Amino acid sequence: AQTVTQSQPEMSVQEAETVTLSCTYDTSESDYYLFWYKQPPSRQMILVIRQEAYKQQNATENRFSVNFQKAAKSFSLKISDSQLGDAAMYFCAYRFNNDMRFGAGTRLTVKP
Amino acid sequence: EPEVTQTPSHQVTQMGQEVILRCVPISNHLYFYWYRQILGQKVEFLVSFYNNEISEKSEIFDDQFSVERPDGSNFTLKIRSTKLEDSAMYFCASSGGGRSTDTQYFGPGTRLTVL
């Protein structure tokens, strides 16, 4: 069974600083997809970034980038120049076929 | 930008009642999903739907749940006889066809409260 682990229940970062959220996963598949979703207090799930496992290049979306280590089954999210609006729960997710599994989430606090 | 919509935003019901949660996926998407998130817990996959039938479902998706695409735009989740433990946020998601099935776009969710 595919599992996703986020070992940091809470993280805190100073505004304008950089923070890295960790995620590991367990799978025997070779072609799959990984995602980071942001869930603000409104509880809507907002896609932040995605990574295709067959691509070696790490995905980047503006201030958000990932460090994808396929052999280590690690998929961390780096947020640069943190902003107050980045404060939210962040969920790492793994998708193979139509089944998507989520981690337990990391609550990110941004201090002004 | 196209988005997934869900109604109602909040549903309150009595235990044992039937509820129908509604979703309008992104118009050219072919795959549809329901997830739930009990307060303070992780998001859990319930079911995926493609070509007018269920393609995958989790162990949570038992006989009290059903899904339907009654017309070309709506996608519904029915809970036949609600229990207290069904109280949760329910998210609908959709994705496109081909390689673009990888990315699922979520609706804003329906908060279900069972009393």
Q: What is the pLDDT of residues A21-61, one digit of tens each?
A: 999 999 988 888 999 999 998 888 899 999 999 888 999 99
Quick check: A102 and B108 CB within 8 A? no
Dump pLDDT digits (tens) for B59-112. 999 999 999 998 878 999 999 999 999 999 999 999 886 654 568 899 999 999
Residue B112 pLDDT: 97
Mean pLDDT of B13-22: 97
Q: Please tell me the distance in Å from B28's CA to the nearest CA on chain A.
A: 17
Closest-approach residue (CA) in chain B for A97: B102
Give B108's contacts in chain A (Cβ within 8 Å): 42-44
Cα angle for residues B24, B29, B33 (degrees, 5° grid): 65
pLDDT at A2: 66
pLDDT digits (tens, 9 = 90+) for A64-106: 999 999 999 999 999 999 999 999 999 999 987 777 899 999 9
Q: In terms of C-beta density within 10 A (0-12 exposed, 13-18 middle, 19 or more buried), how is residue A16 classed?
A: exposed
pLDDT for the residue numbered B18: 97
Nearest partner of A90 among A42, A32, A47, A33, judged by Cα: A47
User: Tokens representing B40?
Assistant: 């303070």
Tell whether the model's pLDDT for residue B53 goes beyond 60: yes
Q: Best of B9, B37, B42 to disrupt the A interface by mutation (most A CBs within 10 Å)?
A: B42
Burial B44-68 (b: 16+ CB within 10 A, else e): bbbbbbbeeeeeebbeebeeebebe
User: CA of B101, closest CA in chain A: separation in Å?
Assistant: 8
* pLDDT (0 to 100) of residue B72: 77
Q: How many CB atoms lie within 10 A of CB B96?
A: 16
